[in-house]
Structure 1
Amino acid sequence: MEEIHSETAKPDPEPKIIGLTGGIGSGKTTVAHFIEELGFPVYYSDDRAKSIVNEDDGLKLKIKQLLGEDSYDEDGMYDRKYVTGKVFKNNDLLEQLNEIIHPAVRIDFEDWVKKQSKYLVFKETALLFELQLNLQCYKSLLVTAEDNIRIKRVMDRDQKTYREVESVMERQMPEKDKIRLADYIIYNNTNLEDLKEQAEQIIFKIE
C-alpha cells in the first residue's frame, strides 16, 4: 500500500527590517515616500510616537508623573511645545522620557511587522543609531546632506533662524559617526530625481 505523506506548510519567513534614518533636514521622509512608491512598507516611528502618546493612557500617566500635568493640554492632548521646552537642555529628563516612549513604540512596531507581507520592511526613525536600533535591523540606510543645505531646508520649512536649527543639529549624533555606522548612504545634496535614483539603486542592492 502506498504511503501518503502529508506536507506541513512552511511558515512565511520573517521580513527583513531595514533601518532608515537621517538628521534634521536630511530628507529621510522624502526617501521614505520614494520607498513606498517602490512598493515597500515603511513604519514611521516618529509619527507613530506622536500618536501613541495620545492613545495610551498608561503612557500619559507616566509622562505626567515625569514632566507634570502641563505635559497635556486641557483637551488631554500631548503638549509638544511644553515637553520640548522641559527636556531640550536637560539630558537626564530627555533620557527618562525616551525610556517611557520608546518601549511603547517598539511594541507597536513589532505588531506592525507581523501584519506585513513584503520580504523587506523599513523602519524610519531619527534615533536609529542613538538608541542602537540598527542592531535589530538587517541593514541600515542613512540619508545625509551637507550641513548648510540641511540648515537652509529647515529654515525654509519651519521658519526657524539659522542658530535655532544649528542648536538642534548640535544635539544630534554627528554625521561622521552615522556615516561610519551605516550600511548604505544616500547623499541628498542635489535634486529629487537624483535622490530617487539613489534610493532605487540601494533597494536593488539590498534585494
Structure 2
Amino acid sequence: MEEQRTRNIVGLTGGIGSGKTSVAEILESEGFAVYYSDDRAKDIVNEDEVLIQKIKELLGEKAYVDGVYNRKYVSDIVFNDKSKLEQLNHLIHPAVAIDFENWVKNHDTRFLFKETALLFELGLHKKCFKSLLVTADENTRIKRVMDRDGKTYREVEKVIEKQMPEREKIKKADFVIYNNSSFQDLEIATKDFIEKLNSL
C-alpha cells in the first residue's frame, strides 16, 4: 500500500473474547469506517477462484464441500500443523490485503480502522498510522467465549495458547483498551481513545 494511505489507517486488534468487535461497533456508531478483515477473509475464500484452487492444492479437495469452504475440515488440519497454517495464511492474507486496498480507495475520512486478529503476528501494524489493542484478563476472555460459543474452558484455553501472548501485544500497541467490566465502561474507554486519536 502506498505510503500516504498509511497515515489515516489505524489497526484494531484483540485476542479471542477481548471485545474488539464491540469496540469496532462503537467506532462505527461514532462515524468511523471499519474494515473487518476476519469477516472479509471468510467471504474471500468462497469468492476468489484462484485462491480456492490454491487452497485445494494445499489441503485437498475436501477443503470445499459443494463449492463452500469447509471451515471445520480446514481448522482440524491447521490447528495442530503450524506449517500448514502458515502456508494457508500466506495464501489468504495477500488476497485480503488487495481487498482492503480497494476498500480504502472508497473511503476518504481522516481515520479508517482495519480490524484484524493477526495485526502484530503478520506485521500489519507496521503499515498503520497507529495501533489499538483491546484486551482483558484471560479468565474473563475465556468465560465470554464459553458463554458465546458453548465451548469448554480447556477448548478456549487451547486457542489462547496458540495466540501471541497479551503482554507482547501490549508492548507493541500504541493504544490499549482494557475491557474487564461493563459495556458502558468500554464505551467510555473507546470514546476516550477517540479523543486522543483526534488530538494527534
Shift of 1:162: 0.4
* Aligned with residue 50 of structure 1, among 30, 42, 46: 42
* Aligned with residue 104 of structure 1, among 82, 95, 108: 95
The whole-number CA distance in structure 1 between the counterparts of 2:105 and 2:194 is 21
Structure with the bigger percentage of helix: 2
Superposed CA deviations along residues 31-53 of structure 1, whole A, max 9, x for unmatched, are: 00000000000000000000000
Tell me which amino acid in the other structure corresponds to 1:106.
A
* Aligned with residue 180 of structure 1, among 128, 152, 171: 171
Report the counterpart of residue 130 of structure 1 in structure 2: 121
Q: Report percent identity of matched pairs.
A: 62
Report the counterpart of residue 197 of structure 2 in structure 1: 206
Report the counterpart of residue 133 of structure 2 in structure 1: 142
| TM-score, structure 1 normalization | 0.92
The whole-number CA distance in structure 2 between the counterparts of 1:143 and 1:66 is 33
Structure-to-structure mapping, 1:16-55, within 5 angstroms = 16-55=8-47
* Aligned residue-pair number: 194
Where does structure 2 lack aligned partners over 5 or more consecutive residues?
Answer: none
Shift of 1:117: 1.8
Question: Secondary structure of 1:26's match?
Answer: coil
| TM-score, structure 2 normalization | 0.96
Report the counterpart of residue 5 of structure 1 in structure 2: none
Runs of 4+ aligned structure 1 residues displaced above 6 Å come to none
Where does structure 1 lack aligned partners over 5 or more consecutive residues?
Answer: 1-12
Tell me which amino acid in the other structure corresponds to 1:178.
K
Tell me which amino acid in the other structure corresponds to 1:199.
T
Superposed CA deviations along residues 14-66 of structure 1, whole A, max 9, x for unmatched, are: 46000000000000000000000000000000000000000000000000000
Tell me which amino acid in the other structure corresponds to 1:71.
A
